[in-house]
């Protein structure tokens, strides 16, 4: 589907992000502004996997990771950030108002406060509190392959007209949000925002705040982001790998597939136990995706497609 402007987000909760991003693109705005708006929208929503309402680490603290990147390889990232509502916007400030690319932990929080962000309460959302109490009974770290397919799915109301019920029950779900966009001027940008794997060790970072892993943009080639078991993405520099495959001439769909095959090949038995899904967009506006497991989806919005949910193909 080649057309511009276009915005693509991970999962079916991408309807929420695309709904926020599209008006920016539609009025001729920058892809960078569109993807930031996408991140802010999902961080405002109370859900399991993005923002302050997300599930905590094993010690009961919500720690947030996010990054953002534009067509000129300007990029910013925050990780292990606590009690700040919009990590994607802090990441953009790191990119624009600091000499650095990445800030973590208390330093990232200090930078956020110095840049006008508010310190929020550290209490868990009622749903996260409940989920955490349940988890404490066994305290086993066992990531669920597609947490967004688990019932009951909590959070999210009012995603409005952008929610065609592609899935049988029409359930809106959540997971790490990655958004990539191509604007009317032909420029690419992307962002990724998450509360990371639920019940992770304190201090654990996933792929999502890492430029080249959870997100990569090359203004001449394409933009890629992903979701799933971050450790498996980090070890093969996932999003960067997909961009490089596109540089070699593969379509976005082929490039995602090739990268997933590489992840599976490393340990085919282990691959049966985790999910990774990539979405990719090239400079022409072609979109593709591929995942290890069934159940990965993405949301596409352009002039013709009003936030349509698409099921990704998968290895298994």
The greatest distance separating any two alpha carbons of the chain, rounded to the nearest whole angstrom, comes to 53
Using CB under 6 A as the binding rule, whether residue 218 contacts ligand SD4 is answered as no
**Contact in structure between 129 and 259 (CB atoms under 8 Å):** no
Active-site pick, 176, 194, 225, 241 = 176
Site for ligand SD4 in 233-292 (CB under 6 A): none
- Residue 242 structure tokens: 């997909």
Q: Contact region for ligand SD4 (CB under 6 A) — 35-43, 120-128, 204-212, 285-293?
A: 204-212
Q: Contact region for ligand SD4 (CB under 6 A) — 108-116, 121-129, 228-236, 302-310?
A: 228-236
Cβ count within 10 A of residue 250: 19
Does the annotation count 176 as an active-site position? yes
CB of 187 to ligand SD4, least distance (A): 26
**Contact in structure between 34 and 212 (CB atoms under 8 Å):** no
Out of 149, 208, 239, 282, the residue judged to bind ligand SD4 by CB under 6 A: 208
CB of 148 to ligand SD4, least distance (A): 8
Cβ proximity to ligand SD4, 190 vs 196, nearer residue: 196
Give Cα 315 distance to the centre of its chain.
21
Using CB under 6 A as the binding rule, whether residue 57 contacts ligand SD4 is answered as no
Using CB under 6 A as the binding rule, whether residue 207 contacts ligand SD4 is answered as yes
Using CB under 6 A as the binding rule, whether residue 39 contacts ligand SD4 is answered as no
Using CB under 6 A as the binding rule, whether residue 197 contacts ligand SD4 is answered as yes
- Partnered with residue 215 across adjacent β-strands are 211, 225
Cβ proximity to ligand SD4, 55 vs 187, nearer residue: 55
Q: Contact region for ligand SD4 (CB under 6 A) — 35-43, 181-189, 225-233, 259-267?
A: 225-233
CB of 20 to ligand SD4, least distance (A): 20
Cβ count within 10 A of residue 222: 31
Out of 196, 222, 295, 307, the residue judged to bind ligand SD4 by CB under 6 A: 196
Using CB under 6 A as the binding rule, whether residue 70 contacts ligand SD4 is answered as no
Q: Contact region for ligand SD4 (CB under 6 A) — 33-41, 191-199, 264-272, 295-303?
A: 191-199
Cβ proximity to ligand SD4, 190 vs 230, nearer residue: 230
**Contact in structure between 16 and 42 (CB atoms under 8 Å):** yes
Positive or negative, the Cα torsion across 158, 163, 167, 169?
positive
Cβ proximity to ligand SD4, 194 vs 302, nearer residue: 194
Using CB under 6 A as the binding rule, whether residue 206 contacts ligand SD4 is answered as yes
What residues line the site for ligand SD4 (CB under 6 A)? 49, 175-176, 194, 196-197, 206-208, 227-230
Q: Enumerate the active-site residues.
A: 176
């Amino acid at each position: 589907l080649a057309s511009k402007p276009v915005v693509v987000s991970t999962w079916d909760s991408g309807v929420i992000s695309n709904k926020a991003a599209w008006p920016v693109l539609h009025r001729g705005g920058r892809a960078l502004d569109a993807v930031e708006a996408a991140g802010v929208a999902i961080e405002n929503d109370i859900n399991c996997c993005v923002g302050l309402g997300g599930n905590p680490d094993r010690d009961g603290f919500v720690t947030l990771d996010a990054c953002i990147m534009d067509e000129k390889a300007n990029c910013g990232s925050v990780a292990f950030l606590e009690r700040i509502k919009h990590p994607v916007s802090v990441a953009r400030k790191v990119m624009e108002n600091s000499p650095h690319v990445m800030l973590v932990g208390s330093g990232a929080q200090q930078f956020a406060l110095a840049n006008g962000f508010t310190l929020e309460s550290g209490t868990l959302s009622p749903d996260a509190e409940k989920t955490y109490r349940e988890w404490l009974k066994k305290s086993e770290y066992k990531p669920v392959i597609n947490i967004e397919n688990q019932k009951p799915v909590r959070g999210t109301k009012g995603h409005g007209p952008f929610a065609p019920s592609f899935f049988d029950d029409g359930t809106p779900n959540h997971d790490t949000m990655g958004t990539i966009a191509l604007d009317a001027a032909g420029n690419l940008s992307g962002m990724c925002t998450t509360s990371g794997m639920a019940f992770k060790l304190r201090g654990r970072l996933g792929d999502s705040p890492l430029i080249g892993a959870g997100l990569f943009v090359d203004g001449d080639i394409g933009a890629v982001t992903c979701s799933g078991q971050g450790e498996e993405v980090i070890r093969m520099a996932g999003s960067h790998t997909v961009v490089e495959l596109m540089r070699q001439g593969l379509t976005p769909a082929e490039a995602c597939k090739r990268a997933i095959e590489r992840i599976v090949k490393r340990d085919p038995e282990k691959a049966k136990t985790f999910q990774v899904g990539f979405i990719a967009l090239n400079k022409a506006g072609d979109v593709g995706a591929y995942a290890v497991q069934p159940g990965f989806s993405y949301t596409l919005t352009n002039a013709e497609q009003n936030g349509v949910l698409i099921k990704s193909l998968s290895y298994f």
